[in-house]
């Protein structure tokens, strides 16, 4: 608002500078217009813009017609033009259409004044104030757009904060604990100067390494592994479920979020199953609740939302690995039921996988990667079902887990895409295509973690397997096909 006020002051100075060139002129109307403009500028600080704008826009055109008819000098006409400064500014705050309308009226008035002034008038005398008036409108329009955007953001933030505070009523002690915890030093360092909470988390693994740089690298990586999933439960126990509704939960059994499982099922969650078994059991209970709320296990859950990002149904290996490591703090029957439901859901060509034992490229994008990851997830279901004595489930998913072999080409030793029942022509294992997920044929060729011995047999035994591994690591890092920014830092084709 101060920017527009400054422009109005500049406009007043310009008009007065023009006016004083004619000392004999009657400057009364100019003085009145100047007072009105400056008063209007002050009024903007306390009165809503839109209310003043609407009133002024109705009054000024009528006053213009009368004033132009009574004008006795060029200065009178300049004063009349000056009166348009704030109407244009306020109309600009109402929107682009209103601003353009006001600007057009200024130009029309400018032409009318020139016509009435006749040969005695100087066009520049009127054009300069008119240009400043339009500039005032432009800055008003731009600043009002920014103000509205900031206001919307502030309103949203205020609503979120108000909601959080209102829900926290009756939990003053919890709020106090949270506010106390804002002091990072309280969390990081105890009274005697020793690291406490961080040491408890990172000290679960002790390494025999004297080099401080190597220790820093290791513990930094461990810290990164512990940053997610994040706590999503509010201080009063409420959380947003995967049905996007607010649920009342138990602070002793909190809800977590950020389950980017395609990124974490291979290594991070198996590590957390060892380092944080209690929290892992809570993750799995969360999975069950998410399945009940939203109808599916998380694939890449974020703040209660199913992002449908990445591939596979990798809540399954997290659950199965926890079960294999002896974690029992969850309902295994409920978990197995959800795992089977997820693997057989009518989405992402899972019925095709169930019937054919592989995904043809014309039926599903990233067909090779999905076939391999579905096979691994099914193997996890089979293993857990077998341990639970559910042999019919174990046998069914054990068969499905062998479907990866349907994409193995014995002629070249690669797991590669099929078009229908035929191999896709022109296969190049270095090519990055939409038949793989952020990878190529080389990088997915060894993703059979549930059947390494079976894969080894197909490659001619341990020696053939080792030769292909050596070729992957020692070969050229050149790739063909589409650019994939996620594939970087290659060692050979790995």
The distance from CA 217 to its chain's CA centroid, rounded to whole angstroms, is 29
280-334: per-residue pLDDT in tens? 999 999 999 999 999 999 999 999 999 888 999 999 999 999 999 999 999 999 9
Q: Which residues touch 82 (CB under 8 Å, ≥6 apart)?
A: 11, 12, 15, 30, 33, 34, 37, 129
Is 193 or 359 the better-scoring residue by pLDDT? 359
| Average pLDDT estimate for 344-369 | 96
Least confidently predicted of 109-123, 187-201, 357-371: 109-123
Q: What percent of the chain has pLDDT over 90?
A: 55
Q: Is the pLDDT of residue 343 over 70?
A: yes
Neighbours of 65 (CB within 10 A): 13
120: left (phi over 0), alpha (psi -120 to 50) or beta: alpha
Is 134 or 19 the better-scoring residue by pLDDT? 134
Q: What percent of the chain has pLDDT over 70?
A: 60
pLDDT at 119: 43
Q: How many angstroms separate the CA atoms of 212 and 27, rounded? A: 82
Q: Is the pLDDT of residue 122 over 80?
A: no
Q: What are phi and psi of 151, to 5 degrees?
A: -65, -40
394-407: per-residue pLDDT in tens? 999 999 999 999 99
Task: Say how many CA atoms lie within 13 Å of 346 toward its Cβ.
Answer: 0
| Average pLDDT estimate for 430-454 | 96
Question: Which range in 45-54, 95-104, 200-209, 257-266 is most confidently predicted, on average pLDDT?
Answer: 257-266
Place of tokens 């009127």: 126
Q: How many angstroms separate the CA atoms of 102 and 87, rounded? A: 7
Is 355 or 80 the better-scoring residue by pLDDT? 355
pLDDT at 199: 82
User: Of 273, 275, 276, 234, which is closest to residue 256 (Cα–Cα)?
Assistant: 234
Q: How many angstroms separate the CA atoms of 365 and 435, rounded? A: 6
pLDDT band at 412 (very low <50, low <70, confident <90, very high): very high
Q: Is the pLDDT of residue 431 over 80?
A: yes
46-88: per-residue pLDDT in tens? 444 445 555 554 455 555 555 555 555 555 555 555 555 555 6
pLDDT at 201: 87
Is 380 or 486 the better-scoring residue by pLDDT? 380
Is 451 or 105 the better-scoring residue by pLDDT? 451
Q: Which residues touch 199 (CB under 8 Å, ≥6 apart)?
A: none
pLDDT at 37: 52
Q: Is the pLDDT of residue 248 over 70?
A: yes
Q: How many angstroms separate the CA atoms of 451 and 403, rounded? A: 11
Is the bond preceding residue 229 a cis peptide, omega within 30 degrees?
A: yes
């Amino acid at each position: 608002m101060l920017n527009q006020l400054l422009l109005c002051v500049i406009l007043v100075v310009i008009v007065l500078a023009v006016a004083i060139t004619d000392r004999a002129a009657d400057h009364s109307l100019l003085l009145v217009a100047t007072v009105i403009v400056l008063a209007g500028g002050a009024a903007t600080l306390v009165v809503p813009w839109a209310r003043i704008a609407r009133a002024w826009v109705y009054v000024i055109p009528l006053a213009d017609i009368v004033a132009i008819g009574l004008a006795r000098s060029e200065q009178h006409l300049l004063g009349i033009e000056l009166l348009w400064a704030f109407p244009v500014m306020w109309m600009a705050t109402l929107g682009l259409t209103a601003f353009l309308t006001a600007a057009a009226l200024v130009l029309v008035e400018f032409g009318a004044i020139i016509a009435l002034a006749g040969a005695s008038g100087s066009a520049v005398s009127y054009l300069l104030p008119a240009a400043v008036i339009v500039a005032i409108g432009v800055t008003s329009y731009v600043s009002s757009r920014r103000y509205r955007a900031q206001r919307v953001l502030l309103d949203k933030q205020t609503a979120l904060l108000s909601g959080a505070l209102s829900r926290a009523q009756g939990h003053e002690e919890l709020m106090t604990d949270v506010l106390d915890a804002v002091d990072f030093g309280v969390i990081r360092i105890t009274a005697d100067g020793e690291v406490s909470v961080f040491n408890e988390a990172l000290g679960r693994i002790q390494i025999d390494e004297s080099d401080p740089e190597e220790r820093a690298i290791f513990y930094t990586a461990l810290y990164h592994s512990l940053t997610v999933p994040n706590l999503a439960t509010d201080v009063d126990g409420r959380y947003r479920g995967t049905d996007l509704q607010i649920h009342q939960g138990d602070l002793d059994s909190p809800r977590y979020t950020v389950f980017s499982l395609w990124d974490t099922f291979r290594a991070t969650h198996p590590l957390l199953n060892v380092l944080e078994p209690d929290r892992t059991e809570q993750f799995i209970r969360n999975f069950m609740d998410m399945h009940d709320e939203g109808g599916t296990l998380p694939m890449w859950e974020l703040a209660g939302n199913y992002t449908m990002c990445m591939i596979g149904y990798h809540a399954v290996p997290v659950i199965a690995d926890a079960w294999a490591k002896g974690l029992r703090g969850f309902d295994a029957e409920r978990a197995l039921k959800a795992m089977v439901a997820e693997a057989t859901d009518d989405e992402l060509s899972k019925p095709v996988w169930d019937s054919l034992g592989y995904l043809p490229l014309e039926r599903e994008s990233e067909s090779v990667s999905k076939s391999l990851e579905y096979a691994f997830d099914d193997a996890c279901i089979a293993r857990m079902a077998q341990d639970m004595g559910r042999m019919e489930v174990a046998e069914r998913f054990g068969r499905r887990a062998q479907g990866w072999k349907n994409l193995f080409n014995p002629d070249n030793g690669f797991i590669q895409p099929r078009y229908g029942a035929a191999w896709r022509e022109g296969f190049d294992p270095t090519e990055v295509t939409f038949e793989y997920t952020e990878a190529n044929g080389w990088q997915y060729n060894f993703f059979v973690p549930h059947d390494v011995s079976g894969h080894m047999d197909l490659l001619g035994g341990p020696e053939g397997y080792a030769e292909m591994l050596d070729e992957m690591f020692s070969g050229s890092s050149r790739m063909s096909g589409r650019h994939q920014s996620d594939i970087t830092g290659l060692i050979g084709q790995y």
